Amino acid sequence: MNFDPVFLLNGNLKNLSNLGIKKYYQKKCILKHLYRKGTLSNPEICKLTNLSSPSIHKLLNELIHENLVKDEGIGKSIGGRRPNLFGIDPEARFIIGISLGHQSSEVAVFNIKNQIINQIHTIDIHLHNSQAFIDKLYGFAMEIINRSGINMDKILAVGIGIPGLTDPASGSSYSHLNYSEKSVKELFEEKFDKPVFIDNDARVMALGEFAFGLAKRKSNVLCLNIGSGIGMGMILNGKLYQGNSGFAGEFGHIKIEEDGLLCMCGKRGCLETVASGLALERVAREDIGAGKITKIDELLMGDLSALSSEIIIKSAQRGDQYSIDLLAKIGEYLGKGLATLIHLFNPEAIIIGGKVASAENFITDSIQQTLNKYTIYQIKKETLIMTSQLGEMAGVLGAMALVMENVFEDVPASRMPV
């Protein structure tokens, strides 16, 4: 497979001399800081890496020569001569972010400055357990790359968020695309001929919030993904928590109702059966069928099959009492579940993401009220309940963040190995 010699050696370090290994880490360490901070001067890089100014000067020149770093001109004076600022060349590398969904999937290409190229592209295709699905998605992604005129040599890696039980370490999904002996990671790597990083969709979205959204600069955050189901990504002590086997965060499958409805996981009364987007649609469909008076009808124009969580939210925004009550009920169920999590994790913030997040206050107000009822005030008082601002970008932005997390994983946080 095609590993990038600057960013990903993946075990190929043994082919390098000691000096080569040292240089690889030194350059990657500079690139990591430039990626995280945007632009830095030579003295600032010295401080961050503990390397001497002449060494940084030499390494920066090499990186500029390799078209990886750009001299961005003069920065602000910190006393004395104003230093030159350096940043990663946005065109140095590109990353493919993919967010797989049950009904449709999203693909976006990013430059290494986290900027999206053109737009997010959506393909309406059922997440089917077959090679045909992978072939189709790959074809779609390649079309986007080709249209953007980006050379495949400049694609660093691919990040993919997948719904369901996912083990990022082995690259396997236990819920989808497990038709072969090979892991999902391997199946996609065969197609793209690039390193592929996968994780559960809710955890990927949490990474997106951590890198680009409301969880930025926070250390303990629970990120909920409420779409067809309910998933959760946990940032604990500033790191994404994956659990022993990579399954942490299955918040949707905690039991909330005795003898409740049968869940897709095979158990009864899971939170997902009463508080997900699908649950919202099911209840509304039953109630409308039973003759309940609601303004949702006006939006459906007689076609009950068009009912979706988006329509219910829209109807609530137009003042429909039935839809408002329905969303409040979902908030109450979520609040009951979240009360337990607040007692266990004492988070700074809980971010509600996914399709249902656009309900904003219609859901968060009732979550707050329920939390007031069921949590110890001192533990809860500083926990912010927020709805994600990343919208439809969350999945692909998270996939981009997943790639960069993995790319820089072998570089120590601040000081580098010498």
Q: How far is the CB of 278 from Zn ion (least distance, A)?
A: 12
Which residue from 141, 211, 263, 359 is in contact with Zn ion, where contact means CB under 5 A? Answer: 263
C-beta separation of 408 from 222 below 8 A = no
Strand order through the sheet with 384-387 = 239-241, 230-236, 221-226, 349-353, 384-387
CB of 222 to Zn ion, least distance (A): 19
* Closest CB 253 distance from Zn ion, rounded Å: 4
**Residue for token pair 């469909």:** 285
To the nearest whole angstrom, how small is the minimum distance from the Cβ of residue 229 to Zn ion?
A: 8
Q: How far is the CB of 252 from Zn ion (least distance, A)?
A: 6
Cross-strand partners of 222:
234, 350
**221's tokens:** 């955050």
Q: Which is nearer to Zn ion, 26 or 200 (CB)?
A: 200
CA distance 371 to 387: 16
Among 336, 380, 333, residue whose Cα is nearest residue 356: 333
Q: Helix crossing, 201-212 with 394-407: angle to 10°? A: 80
Q: Which of 117, 142, 165, 265 binds Zn ion (CB under 5 A)?
A: 265
Residue whose pair of structure tokens reads 């008082």 in the numeric block: 381
Cβ-based nearer residue to Zn ion, 28 or 253: 253
x-marked contacts with Zn ion along 223-262 as a string, rule CB under 5 A: ------------------------------x---------
**Residue 375 to residue 103: CA distance in whole angstroms:** 37
Range in contact with Zn ion (rule: CB under 5 A) among 161-169, 180-188, 267-275, 297-305: 267-275
- The interface mask with Zn ion, positions 268-287, x = CB under 5 A, is --x-----------------
Which residue's CB is nearer to Zn ion, number 171 or number 233? 233
- The distance of closest approach from Cβ of residue 142 to Zn ion in the complex, given in angstroms and rounded to an integer, is 36
DSSP tag of 392: G
- Burial (CB < 10 A; 0-12, 13-18, 19+), residue 60, is buried
336 touches Zn ion by CB under 5 A: no
Positions touching Zn ion (CB under 5 A) are: 253, 263, 265, 267, 270
